[in-house]
Amino acid sequence: MQFKSKITRNNHSAISDSFQKIIWALVVDVAIHSGHFETRKKLLEKYCEDENLIYTELENNLHLFFELLEDYNKTNDIRLYLFLKLQARYCFIDESSLDFLLTPPINRESIDKTRNDKDYSSESPIAVSSVGNGGIIGGHLIGLY
């Protein structure tokens, strides 16, 4: 599978399958086997040159990914999972591979339910106005002239 990214040089927008496998091996080594990212930097930099990628951008994205993964595995926060999923794209990691790294695996149905079925009936609407002619109710401006 080819990934597209804005971090490539010379308008090349995909990476090779072999480079994607190298990135995945690095991620698994660091995330699961407690490997050190610092020892793999030179190898990653060489492959970035071969693929015409900007190494510093990929390095920064991977650092952020590892920090998010560590935080998610501590908290299991759904919002953090959504951000982690987005960050994985910048590191050329597909979603099914991401789920392999998570402890415990995320239940996608709970994400959809949380995002779509939030019960707003218990929240009181905000109605504030200095003259009583309008205000903000449920996030919408009402009756302002």
Domain ranges for the chain, please list them.
17-106
Pairing of strands 140-142, 135-137: antiparallel
Q: What contacts 14, CB < 8 A, 6 or more positions away? A: 2, 3, 4, 8
pLDDT score at 99: 84
Length of the chain, in residues: 145
Strand partners, 73: none
Query: How is residue 131 annotated by DSSP?
Result: S
Q: Is the pTM of this model over 0.75?
A: no
Per-residue pLDDT tens digits of the chain, which is 145 residues long: 555 554 444 433 478 999 999 999 999 988 888 777 887 888 899 999 999 999 999 999 999 999 999 999 899 899 999 999 999 999 999 888 888 888 665 555 555 555 555 554 444 444 444 444 444 444 444 554 4
- What is the secondary structure of 76-123 as a DSSP string? --HHHHHHHHHHHHHTT--HHHHHHH-SSPP-HHHHHHHHH----TTS
pLDDT score at 107: 56
pLDDT score at 45: 92
How far is the C-alpha of 137 from the C-alpha of 60, rounded, in Å?
41
Cα angle, residue 81 at apex, residues 78 and 82 outer, rounded to 5°:
95
Amino acid at 128: V
pLDDT score at 35: 74
